[in-house]
Structure 1
Amino acid sequence: MFSRIPSARRVETQRLLSVVAIPFAAALAMGTAVLASGTAVLPTAEGGGTLAFLLEFVKFCYLAVGMAHLSGALAERFAGGLPAGLWLDELGEERSPATTQSFWDTFPNHVDGSAIALGVAVLCWTLG
């Protein structure tokens, strides 16, 4: 029998921002702060310049996000997810393993988030 490709029913903007925009902004802020402090100027010049240095920060941030979403996918799929301690968590709600259908209901779910983040990390590795 043919297996259908899962389709999302809604886009979760907060998770999409946490996968795409926030790691990029954090990497640029960290890289710019390090370069502005002057402590990495000489090693940066030896290592390929400012762009290569910033790409390393971007790659590091996206690798971290990719691994976090990958572990989140495992936790959500097998244990019902882990409470993040955010205001979004429903207080006192009992968590149960996600069904196959509910796991794919939102975009990006944790698997999508991990794929996006690791894809950007590979792109940075290719460019740098």
Structure 2
Amino acid sequence: MNKNHSLQTKIIEWVIRTALKHLQENEAMNIHLDPELESLIQSQLNTHQYQSPEQVLEAALKLLIASQQQKAQASQSPWDILEELAGTIEAPDDWSAERDRYLYGTPKRNSNHE
């Protein structure tokens, strides 16, 4: 893991903890960062990819969420993943019997010769 990624993760985790704390206390959110984190946010603003510190933090939060989802999926067994996907893919009722037709374009089978 490179230095920027670990620093981004550090920012994201801190922001989430702080946000949750303030939301639970029903307070306005003021975020105070150490100079290293402020510098990182400023460097992202200097790329002109983001127009505000809030956009940088939002992007960082989205990266954290995606990273956590990937880690959760990576820790699942293939059977768990298949179980989650079961019933989520729509297909014709005769998919099993007519798989060659759908996969390779072969003529439809006569239902009497199965």
Question: The TM-score by the shorter chain falls in which range?
Answer: 0.3 to 0.5
* TM-score with structure 1 setting the length: 0.31
Higher relative contact order (CA 8 A, sep 6+): 1
Larger gyration radius, structure 1 or structure 2: 2
